[in-house]
């Protein structure tokens, strides 16, 4: 038996629930995302100039420079646009139906963020005692980038949540009763987006933690009937992981600090992933009590 909040959340998806529409919607979303990314590359050429352009593009592979990281985050505007256009063109749905009730969504996002910021700060302080982070960006440079980083980070997490916990979870939920389909398949897609061969022997452990994160976001969305809690968890988590302390060898361009070990370090990173998993469990239980009515 589905909660009334979730039943109301997925109701707009019932008008055009055909599977072919979902598959075509995914393809349309990806096409618009890639088209926007290509357009950004074209616009970038006269801005940077021919002498610096290709060297700048190589920096997109390492993501250890702030401009390239901002560019990556901005590119998710294409994913955001693609999801909204796919929902409108193939399902006759407005953007608001992907978020859920506006007031409830905003309330859940704000409450989640206010609860998790101090919690993550405490966890970072504790982990610092065992493994002090290494300075990355100078503080003055970090503060200059911070407003843009926060804005574009919000674009990035909103685009991902709209696609996976909004569009896909809703459309699959009206077609299938099995939770492993409408919750598990979007979570799997979200996880595969984070595939990083540079992680080496840690890759599967990292993907497992990301998959657990996706399931938690999906569960909070189901229980609350809106995207607010999932957006809040994703936002605070990415602030901690991309702007405060990033794992060396991952996306470090906007981080104030980086870890003393790399993403492929099979001795130190697994312990950190275990702590992340424990933190996610605590966050999940806490938010279920606070957000879910």
Could you report the per-residue pLDDT of 148-159, keeping only the tens digit for each? 999 999 999 999
Mean pLDDT of 79-96: 98
Query: Taking the CA atoms of the chain, what radius of gyration do you get in angstroms?
Result: 19
Give the per-residue pLDDT at 50.
86
Give the per-residue pLDDT at 82.
98
Backbone φ, ψ for residue 64 (5° rounding): -110, 10
Give the per-residue pLDDT at 60.
86
Give the per-residue pLDDT at 4.
86
Give the per-residue pLDDT at 61.
84
Give the per-residue pLDDT at 276.
94
**Residue 34, pLDDT above cutoff 60:** yes
Map tokens 């002090």 to a residue.
132
Q: Is the dihedral of CA 188, 189, 193, 196 positive or negative?
A: positive
- State whether residue 212 is helix, strand or coil: helix
Query: Counting Cβ atoms within 10 Å, is residue 275 exposed (0-12), middle (13-18) or buried (19+)?
Result: middle
Q: How confident is the model at residue 225 (pLDDT cuts 50, 70, 90)?
A: very high
Query: For residues 204 and 177, what is the distance between their CA atoms, to the nearest angstrom?
Result: 29
**DSSP code at position 259:** E
| Of 1-10, 22-31, 255-264, minimum mean pLDDT range | 1-10
Q: Which of 189, 180, 162, 18 is nearest to 90 (CA)?
A: 18
Structure tokens that stand for 158 in this block: 């909103």
Backbone φ, ψ for residue 261 (5° rounding): -125, 155
**Residue 293, pLDDT above cutoff 80:** no
Residues 6+ apart with CB under 8 A from 250: 63, 196, 198, 263
Query: For residues 173 and 248, what is the distance between their CA atoms, to the nearest angstrom?
Result: 38
Structure tokens that stand for 87 in this block: 């929902």
Structure tokens that stand for 107 in this block: 């309330």
Map tokens 């749905």 to a residue.
93
Q: What pTM value is reported for the model?
A: 0.95
Query: For residues 214 and 211, what is the distance between their CA atoms, to the nearest angstrom?
Result: 5
Q: Which residues pair with 215 in a beta bridge?
A: none
Q: How confident is the model at residue 140 (pLDDT cuts 50, 70, 90)?
A: very high
CA 18 to chain centre: 27
Give the per-residue pLDDT at 3.
81
Average of per-residue pLDDT values in the chain: 95
Give the per-residue pLDDT at 222.
96
Query: For residues 44 and 148, what is the distance between their CA atoms, to the nearest angstrom?
Result: 18
Give the per-residue pLDDT at 281.
96
Give the per-residue pLDDT at 1.
67
Structure tokens that stand for 112 in this block: 């989640």
Q: Which of 49, 48, 81, 82 is nearest to 67 (CA)?
A: 48
Q: Is the dihedral of CA 80, 83, 89, 92 positive or negative?
A: negative
Higher pLDDT, 60 or 19: 19
**DSSP code at position 249:** T
pLDDT per position as a tens digit, 93-123: 999 999 999 999 999 999 999 999 999 999 9
Give the per-residue pLDDT at 130.
85
Give the per-residue pLDDT at 292.
62
% residues pLDDT > 90 (the chain): 88
Query: For residues 225 and 3, what is the distance between their CA atoms, to the nearest angstrom?
Result: 8
Q: How confident is the model at residue 290 (pLDDT cuts 50, 70, 90)?
A: confident
Mean pLDDT of 174-187: 96
Q: How confident is the model at residue 129 (pLDDT cuts 50, 70, 90)?
A: confident
Continuous segment of H or E residues that includes residue 262: strand 257-262
Give the per-residue pLDDT at 2.
78
């Amino acid at each position: 038996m589905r909660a009334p909040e979730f039943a109301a959340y997925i109701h707009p998806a019932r008008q055009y629930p055909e599977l072919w529409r979902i598959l075509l919607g995914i393809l349309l979303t990806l096409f618009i995302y890639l088209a926007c990314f290509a357009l950004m590359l074209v616009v970038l050429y006269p801005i940077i100039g021919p002498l610096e352009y290709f060297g700048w593009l190589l920096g997109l592979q390492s993501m250890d420079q702030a401009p390239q990281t901002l560019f990556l985050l901005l590119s998710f505007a294409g994913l955001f646009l693609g999801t909204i256009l796919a929902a409108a063109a193939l399902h006759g749905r407005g953007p608001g139906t992907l978020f859920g009730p506006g007031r409830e969504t905003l309330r859940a996002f704000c409450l989640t963020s206010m609860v998790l910021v101090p919690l993550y700060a405490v966890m970072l302080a504790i982990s610092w005692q065992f493994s002090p982070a290494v300075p990355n960006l100078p503080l003055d440079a970090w503060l200059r980038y911070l407003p843009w980083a926060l804005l574009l980070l919000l674009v990035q997490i909103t685009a991902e949540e709209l696609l996976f916990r909004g569009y896909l979870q809703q459309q699959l939920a009206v077609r299938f009763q099995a939770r492993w389909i409408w919750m598990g398949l979007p979570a799997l897609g979200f996880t595969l987006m984070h595939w990083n061969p540079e992680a080496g022997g840690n890759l599967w452990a990292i993907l497992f933690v990301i998959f657990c994160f996706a399931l938690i976001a999906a569960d909070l969305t189901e229980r609350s009937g809106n995207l607010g809690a999932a957006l809040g968890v994703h936002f605070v988590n990415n602030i901690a992981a991309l702007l405060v302390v990033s794992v060396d060898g991952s996306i470090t361009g906007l981080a104030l600090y980086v870890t003393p070990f790399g993403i492929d370090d099979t001795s130190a990173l697994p312990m950190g992933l275990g702590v992340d998993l424990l933190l996610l469990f605590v966050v999940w239980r806490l938010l279920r009590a606070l957000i879910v009515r």
